[in-house]
Amino acid sequence: MTRTLLNVGTALCAATLLALISQSATAQTEAAHKVKSVKSKQGKKADSAISALTPDATGPVTDAQLNIAARVFTGKVDCEFGQNVNIDAINASPGQFRVSFKNVHYLMTPEETSTGAVRLEDKKSGTVWLQIPTKSMLMNHKIGQRMVDGCTHAEQRVAVDPADVAEKTILAQ
């Protein structure tokens, strides 16, 4: 009798575990589908949306955000695996940036951080551009996934070189 109850209990635990795994896989698939849907919609309409921007479209930009915007490296940024990201300031909307990756364009606004890192965010898509002195990365914080990492602007590469020289000097001693 005890053995039968033990087998039934084990079977119930296994069934519950399988149901949880299945539910998790379904949620991940749905999240990935939503990201693809957002990318395709943005890719088609991004140019017209960016050109029609007004400060009211994304909300007012604060003085603190404008100070952060002054530290954003713009232009082509080289990333790992031969990929690149383009960051362009939107002249018609000070403090706003157009970040492009793989033919998808994101409208990003600077956000304050406690660490002093530069953070640009497209709240609609959940896409974030993080810039620290030595590298940058683009990520989708809604699903917690890096889209591209190891990105370095020419100014970041200059900052890294002296650090590399100092490290090699210390290791050589």
Q: Would you kindly state where each structural domain of the chain is located, as residue ranges?
A: 1-173
Q: Is the pLDDT of residue 53 over 90?
A: no
Q: Is the pLDDT of residue 60 over 60?
A: yes
Q: What does DSSP assign to residue 152?
A: B
Residues 102 and 85 sit within 8 Å (Cβ to Cβ): no
Q: Is the pLDDT of residue 42 over 70?
A: no
Q: Is the pTM of this model over 0.75?
A: no
Question: Per the structure block, which two tokens stand in for 153?
Answer: 């602007």
Quick: pLDDT tens for 18-27: 444 445 444 4
Q: Is the pLDDT of residue 85 over 90?
A: yes
Quick: pLDDT tens for 1-11: 555 544 555 55
In the chain, % of residues over pLDDT 70: 58
Looking up tokens 């954003």, which residue turns up?
A: 72
- CA quadruple 159, 136, 103, 107: dihedral positive or negative? negative
| Summary mean pLDDT of the chain | 75
| pLDDT for position 49 | 45
* Summary count for the chain: helices (H), strands (E): 4, 8
Question: Per the structure block, which two tokens stand in for 163?
Answer: 């650090």
Average of per-residue pLDDT across 41-48:
47
